[in-house]
Chains A and B, each alone.
Chain A
Amino acid sequence: MDALILARWQFAITTVYHFFFVPLTLGLSILVAIMETVYVRTGNEQYKHMAKFWGKLFLINFAMGVVTGIVQEFQFGMNWSEYSRFVGDIFGAPLAIEALLAFFLESTFLGIWIFGWERLSKRLHAATIWVVAVGSNLSALWILIANSFMQQPVGYTLNNGRAEMTDFFALLANGHVWVQFPHVFFAGVTTAGFFVLGISAYHLWKKGQDLEIFQKSFRMGAVYAVIGTVMVMLVGHTQAQYMMKIQPMKMAAAEALWDTEDPAAMSLFTIGDEKNRRDVFAIRIPSLLSVLAYNRLEGEVKGINDLQREYEQTHGPGDYVPPVAISYWTFRIMVGAGVVMLLIALYALYRVLKNNLEFKPLLLKGMIWSISLPYIANSTGWIFTEVARQPWVVFGVMRTEDAVSPAVSIGEVWFSLIAFTLLYGALMGVTIYLLKKFAVGGASGVLLFEETEGAAISK
């Protein structure tokens, strides 16, 4: 084990963990804002109770997103100082802008939203949660502008031994941003949709005193989940085609396609021999990969071996093949989870349109468990997109091994890796405990909690 491997593990653990909380923040902020807006427009108190109930869960989740986000902002400099030096002229800008434009907005206005229920007019109060929603999603946009530079570097020149920005607007116009951001945005919508759907399903099953509120929530969740899953898949398809052009190696790894094919077959199931770069066992559908790549029956899709040869010519000798098994399986798990979510969401919407929310308990239990699906897809999606870019940290420009901090010793990284992992593990337990407690308690639970815990006790 050297410091590089440890630093990579730390980045992977802290980032995947951070992104456990972010998508729900992105999607649920908008949904809570919609609920409160409906309340302000109609005066229907039920929507206020919905906003408070889902808002409570939102806040618990939001806190975790914020505190794990601080680590993200700092660890480029801490563990990846040479990366920071090399790309700081470009990469630092979107990060600083994210803090200045987005973090301030969401944090400040969330404080007002939490404490402002009685102090602001109804309209103004509803406006503050909209600002939070805009701030959160703006922050996603800016961090993805930064990440897109790592996937597809644009608007720069190599000078003085580093990458220097030549065109700020090229960073914003980077084609990768505009496939990645919608993908993440709708992943957030999907996550919130399934979160609301699953918890509402629990209450439909228990038939407690908040039944009506959770029927309403279920309807909103179903619509939201369908919008999210359909869009995330459409965008994802476009994104994969885009990736075929800018990082063909990533897609070849995703498909475990060793050799170039035309028409290219798609693997349904492959057990591969990564070392010798060949299939041990594979079920493949002819031409399907060409169809996915180009929307037609033919078309050459480059394989790993040919790409390796190409990269050797442009970048010199070296191993340019990412870990194929991880890429292949994370991609499949992500897409698979997406397909299952699409089916569940469509079925839920069908029942909503039929106005029949009398489900069999088994179905409702299934929906509760389906809350895990977006989380699986979110995590595997990021693991895929980052792992399958290796050995590059900035594609075609800088290798991960050259990015690590030389000033940080292996003992120091061990310490931080263990400390972060233990603390994050403990906090995950606490967060799930609290989310479950408030989710099960329902809207009336939250209202009771606010009355007993929020009011003055001394008289």
Chain B
Amino acid sequence: MDLNTLWFILIAVLFIGFFFLEGFDYGVGILLPFIAKDDRSRRTVINTIGPFWDGNEVWLLTAGGAMFAAFPHWYATMFSGFYLALVLMLLALIVRGVAFEFRSKDKHPKWRAAWDWMLFIGSFVPALLWGVAMANLIRGVPIDENMHYLGGFFNLLNPYALLGGLATLSLFMLHGAIFLNLKTTGEMEEKARSYALKIGSVTTVLVFAFVIAGYYATDMFSRLGVNPGISPIIAGAALLLSGWFLKKRRSGWAFVMTGLTIAFSTITIFIGLYPRVMVSSLNDAWSLTIYNASSTPYTLKVMSIIALIFVPIVLLYQGWTYWVFRKRVSQDSKLQY
């Protein structure tokens, strides 16, 4: 395996980490205004992701940094091409980040309600837009021979990409509802479960509709054949199983299953892309690939050494955080946010 492929895999891993981890905290943020009505239960909901959300968000920053370092043309074309979408996402992430910190620092109910809605918007917008972005990567966007995106903003909002956005949105909401079910007690725990059951069926429809639409909108299946391999099957099966586990009240397993769905959907998209990183809808030859968009072998080598040392260390100490805060957030818990 060459270093270009290694970095393609590493970036896929970073996106999987990002979608898996930030997926549930986006979901929790989206559910917040609906699932919790009084202040105490809203705080309970926020505090389930309190110690984690910031560390989770770094997966996105690291994925962005890794794209810049390993595939600068991918970073340049995608970030300048998807400009307005990214501006909207950044605005959302800004209000979301401060909302955690600021929300409970003032008693005024209107202050708190306003920040709760900021948390909602800040979670909703990126959850939707990442699906839109991923769908467009695989569907193809107008990229010219100089790797410049020619499409504008509304080009990104095609039906296939919007369906992708709805799929990630609902999947993250499901993932978040199950996480809440795992991390709360009593009434909230039950409520989260019933939300998860309801969202689960919508998610299943949307995700499968997205897969079917993929047959028409992308070249994925002509490239991979009718049997696209094991990963989309695992993703689909895990999604169905998560509903089954939920009904059986085995939320831990249900969470693992939505996690697998997220991971294997991401893997499927990356397999569909490989060795391309951005598909040009104008001309196959103008697509960005892991070769024409990459850094030099020297830079990839340096970065490989660093990544292979530090990614496992990050996983270890982030894992430790989840262990430290493994207890459910209950009515008696001391709250910070």
Contacts and interface: CB of A to CB of B under 8 A. Distances in A.
A418 to B, nearest CB: 11
Among B55, B70, B149, B317, the one with the most A-chain Cβ atoms within 10 Å of its Cβ is B55
Interface in B317-333: 317-318, 321, 324-325, 331-333
Nearest to B104: A453
Interface in B28-78: 40, 50-55, 57-58, 61-62, 64-70, 72-73, 75-78
Nearest to A98: B65
B303 A85 contact: no
Interface residues of B, number: 74
Given A63-B97, A456-B332, A78 B306 contact: no
Contacts of A116: 51, 324
A26 B143 CA distance: 42
A73 B65 contact: yes
Contacts of B198: none
B58 A99 contact: yes
A340 to B, nearest CB: 32
Contacts of A209: none
A38 interface: no
Contacts of B147: 85
B80 A405 contact: yes
Contact of A81 (B80, B96, B306, B333): B80
Given A74-B64, A118-B334, A93 B299 contact: yes
B314 interface: yes
A100 B62 contact: yes
A78 B79 contact: yes
A108 B319 CA distance: 10
B296 A164 contact: yes
B334 A93 contact: no
Interface in B285-337: 295-296, 298-299, 302-303, 306-307, 310-311, 314, 317-318, 321, 324-325, 331-336
A420 B333 CA distance: 37
B334 A423 contact: no
Interface in B9-39: none
Nearest to B78: A77
A405 B86 CA distance: 14
Contacts of A81: 76-77, 79-80
Given A71-B94, A114-B50, A92 B55 contact: no
A66 B54 contact: yes
Nearest to B334: A454
B40 A77 contact: no
A454 B336 contact: yes
A262 B78 CA distance: 52
Given A68-B94, A89-B295, A111-B55, A74 B86 contact: yes
Contact of B68 (A91, A408, A419): A91
Interface string B80-124: 110110110011011111101110111100000000000000000
B215 interface: no
B330 to A, nearest CB: 8
A166 B58 CA distance: 29
Interface string A74-96: 10111101101101111111011
Given A67-B94, A114-B336, A456-B333, A92 B79 contact: no
Interface string A388-415: 0000000000000000011111001001
B282 interface: no
Nearest to B335: A454
A84 B70 CA distance: 11
A434 to B, nearest CB: 6
A103 B93 contact: no
A130 B102 CA distance: 24
B334 A74 contact: no
A107 to B, nearest CB: 4
B331 A100 contact: no
Interface string A352-368: 00000000000000000
Contacts of B216: none
A97 interface: yes
Given A67-B98, A110-B54, A416 B87 contact: yes
B295 A115 contact: no
A203 to B, nearest CB: 20
B75 A84 contact: yes
A447 B12 CA distance: 44
B153 A412 contact: yes
A60 B299 contact: no
Interface residues of A, number: 76
A165 B321 contact: no
A141 to B, nearest CB: 14
A69 B66 CA distance: 16
B148 interface: yes
Nearest to A62: B101
Contacts of A407: 77, 80-81, 83, 148-150
A107 B321 CA distance: 11
A438 interface: yes
A271 interface: no
Given A407-B150, A416-B83, A84 B72 contact: yes
A380 to B, nearest CB: 25
Contacts of A164: 296, 298-299
Nearest to A109: B317
Contacts of B40: 457-458
A455 interface: yes
Nearest to B68: A92
Contact of A99 (B65, B81, B321): B65
Given A85-B72, A111-B54, A438-B105, A166 B298 contact: yes
A9 interface: no
Nearest to A111: B51
A119 interface: yes
B59 to A, nearest CB: 9
B146 to A, nearest CB: 9
B31 to A, nearest CB: 21
B102 A430 contact: yes
A59 B97 CA distance: 12
30 contacts: A63-B97, A70-B93, A77-B68, A78-B80, A79-B80, A81-B79, A84-B75, A89-B72, A96-B68, A97-B65, A97-B69, A99-B65, A107-B54, A108-B55, A112-B51, A112-B324, A115-B336, A164-B296, A165-B295, A405-B80, A405-B83, A406-B148, A407-B150, A416-B84, A420-B91, A423-B91, A427-B94, A427-B98, A431-B98, A437-B106
Interface of A: 59-60, 62-64, 66-68, 70-71, 73-74, 76-79, 81-82, 84-85, 87-93, 95-101, 103-105, 107-112, 114-116, 118-120, 164-166, 168, 405-409, 412, 415-416, 419-420, 423, 427, 430-431, 434, 437-438, 453-458
Given A63-B102, A66-B97, A103-B61, 15 more contacts: A60-B101, A71-B90, A88-B69, A92-B299, A103-B62, A107-B57, A111-B51, A112-B51, A119-B324, A407-B80, A407-B83, A415-B84, A427-B98, A454-B335, A456-B332
